[in-house]
Amino acid sequence: MTSDDPGSEFPLLVVAEFVFTPEGEVEFLRHRQRTLDETRGVDGCLQAVLWIRPGRRYQFSTLWRDADAVTRWVGNEFHRDVLMPGFRKWCTEGCFGEYALEKDHERARKCASCGRWTQGRPGWNERRPASCKRCDAPLEPPSDA
């Protein structure tokens, strides 16, 4: 999962949203880390992020090199055998959407050492920029990235 992958300048964004039952949320949380690990391990996955919202609402935002990478994720054994049947039992609502990035703006990250904001490309990549332009201190990505 690197921004240096060919074709990753304008990735395919897939958004999946789910609303869990109280029991379903507990069950899903048992699989949360493996879900992210399996997704990120698919050839062509550029980034996978899970957002948790009030009301047991979850949003997965995944960026893929191309549609073939999404197909590989859909065919992934864990996705097919655990998540797909699980979501049918665990959730009361769900939706998916695929979006093609038309324009990408720089991401900015504030340096903890000197306070300067440093911009980096591609903007969709949580691991960039990697260092401060002023003091060259490393800029840490989110702990879940």
Report the pLDDT value the prediction gives residue 126, as an integer from 0 to 100. 79
Topology of the domain comprising 12-100: Alpha-Beta Plaits (3.30.70)
Report the pLDDT value the prediction gives residue 2, as an integer from 0 to 100. 40
Q: Which long-range contacts (CB under 8 A, 24 or more apart) does 117-122 make?
A: 122/3, 122/8, 122/9
Q: Which residues of the chain have pLDDT under 70?
A: 1-9, 144-145
Pair of tokens at residue 92: 């009361």
0.85 exceeded by pTM: no
Report the pLDDT value the prediction gives residue 133, as an integer from 0 to 100. 93
Backbone angles phi, psi at 119, to 5 degrees: -95, 150
Report the pLDDT value the prediction gives residue 140, as an integer from 0 to 100. 83
Tens digit of each residue's pLDDT (9 = 90 or more) over 41-55: 999 999 999 999 999
CA distance 89 to 70: 23
CA distance 63 to 73: 12
* Residues whose CB falls within 8 Å of the CB of residue 81, separated by 6 or more in sequence, listed in order: none
Report the pLDDT value the prediction gives residue 63, as an integer from 0 to 100. 94
Nearest to 107 by CA among 121, 89, 91: 121
What is the residue extent of each domain of the chain? 12-100, 105-139
Nearest to 12 by CA among 79, 55, 69, 56: 69
